[in-house]
Amino acid sequence: MFRHLNILVTLSLALFITTSHASKLQTDNIQTASVSTFVTDLDANKTLFQKNADIVMPIASLTKVMMAMVVLDAKLPLDEAISFNKIDKERIYDGYSRIRMGSTLSRGNALHIALMSSENLATAALARQYPGGYEAFIKAMNTKAKALGMTDTVFVDSSGLNPNNVSTAADITKMIKAAYQYPKIKKYSTTPVHTAYFKKPRYKLGYTNTNALVRGQKWDVELSKTGYLDIAGHCLAMITHVEGKQLLIVTLDAYGKLTPIGDAGRIKKWLQSGKSGNVSESAMHYQKQKLSTLVH
């Protein structure tokens, strides 16, 4: 009798703990400072939290994840040298780059620094030296997006510097799920630091990862991409492990540089304790202001 009672107590306790933990994950108890958020438990293939996930907005350098998939889909030699020239500079709107005009770098290294450190010139060079050229590359990006079911996504350049590269947090989630199937994207995007060796002339440049969680190596991050434009705010997409769950986190349009990292911390806290804590009044004001321009 006592044995049966012990079993009953144990089962009841287990059920209580499971129910208690499940009850913690109430979406009313999570706040994020980013305008749009989408959190997925990849193991369970379940959406844990979403906020404004279907609003179309600029995605800045998150574009580079699609760029990388198109490069790798073409199966071009990653050890082949590609060049950097004036037209590449024009295609990043004459933005700053430390890469010298006329120099060369392997395609694999160009992809590496584009993903980990958001090197814009590398994306333009990679796109130009694609079968059919730059326009064919952009067309391939949009074709890939459609194939992945990204119905609210449009790409107009390879870098994300053009604000007309738009998507939603829900669509970006689809893109990151697809990118996770590419070992090179996982590896290149989560390298904390990397040195690229150029030729013609011979020189080297050091690069660091744009995601502080990757640089600090305090989180187990398996895929990462950040983005920023004035009009797009700070963006983050990553796959990481929290509380035994493999999470895909997408945050779009945050005012502060560290806000996406703060949102990742709030999501982690929510999973651990059931409550994320509050975001600042200024962040709430920023969201309200941005939503008024995005939602018509």
Out of 118, 158, 224, 276, the active site residue is 118
Number of domains in the chain: 1
The yes-or-no answer on residue 23 being catalytic is no
What is the secondary structure of 176-215 as a DSSP string? HHHHTT-HHHHHHHT-SEEEEEEBTTTEEEEEE-S-HHHH
Q: What is the distance between the alpha carbons of residues 87 and 96, in angstroms, rounded to a whole number?
A: 14
Given this model, what pLDDT does residue 171 score?
98
Q: Model confidence over 216-269: pLDDT tens digits? A: 998 999 999 999 999 999 999 999 999 889 999 999 999 999 899 999 999 999
Whether 135 is covered by a domain: the verdict is yes
Whether 283 is covered by a domain: the verdict is yes
Q: Model confidence over 44-78: pLDDT tens digits? A: 999 999 999 999 999 999 999 999 999 999 999 99
Q: In the predicted model, is pLDDT for residue 278 greater than 60? A: yes
- CATH number at 134 reads 3.40.710.10
List the structure tokens of 72. Answer: 């790798």
Q: What is the distance between the alpha carbons of residues 40 and 99, in angstroms, rounded to a whole number?
A: 37
Check: CB of residue 55 under 8 Å from CB of residue 168.
yes
The yes-or-no answer on residue 200 being catalytic is no
Q: In the predicted model, is pLDDT for residue 136 greater than 60? A: yes
Whether 10 is covered by a domain: the verdict is no
- Of 163, 239, 210, 188, the residue nearest 69 (C-alpha): 188
Out of 34, 36, 51, 64, the active site residue is 64
Whether 285 is covered by a domain: the verdict is yes
Whether 273 is covered by a domain: the verdict is yes
The yes-or-no answer on residue 64 being catalytic is yes
Check: CB of residue 268 under 8 Å from CB of residue 32.
no
Given this model, what pLDDT does residue 107 score?
98
Check: CB of residue 205 under 8 Å from CB of residue 98.
yes
Whether 265 is covered by a domain: the verdict is yes
What is the secondary structure of the chain as a DSSP string? -HHHHHHHHHHHHHHHHHHHHHHH--GGG---SSSEEEEEETTTTEEEEEESTT--EE-GGGHHHHHHHHHHHTT--TTSEEE--HHHHHHTTT---SSPTT-EEEHHHHHHHHHHH--HHHHHHHHHTSTT-HHHHHHHHHHHHHHTT-TT-B-SSSSS-STT-EE-HHHHHHHHHHHTT-HHHHHHHT-SEEEEEEBTTTEEEEEE-S-HHHHTT-S-EEEEEEEEETTTEEEEEEEEEETTEEEEEEEEEESSTTHHHHHHHHHHHHHHHS---PPPHHHHHHHHHHHHHH--
Whether 7 is covered by a domain: the verdict is no
- Average per-residue pLDDT for the chain: 92
Q: What are phi and psi of 77, to 5 degrees?
A: -60, 125
Whether 18 is covered by a domain: the verdict is no
Q: Model confidence over 86-123: pLDDT tens digits? A: 999 999 999 999 999 999 999 999 999 999 999 999 99
Out of 34, 36, 51, 61, the active site residue is 61
What is the secondary structure of 73-96 as a DSSP string? HTT--TTSEEE--HHHHHHTTT--
Q: To the nearest whole percent, how much of the chain has pLDDT over 90? A: 82
Domain that holds residue 269: 30-294
Terminal-to-terminal C-alpha distance of the chain = 67
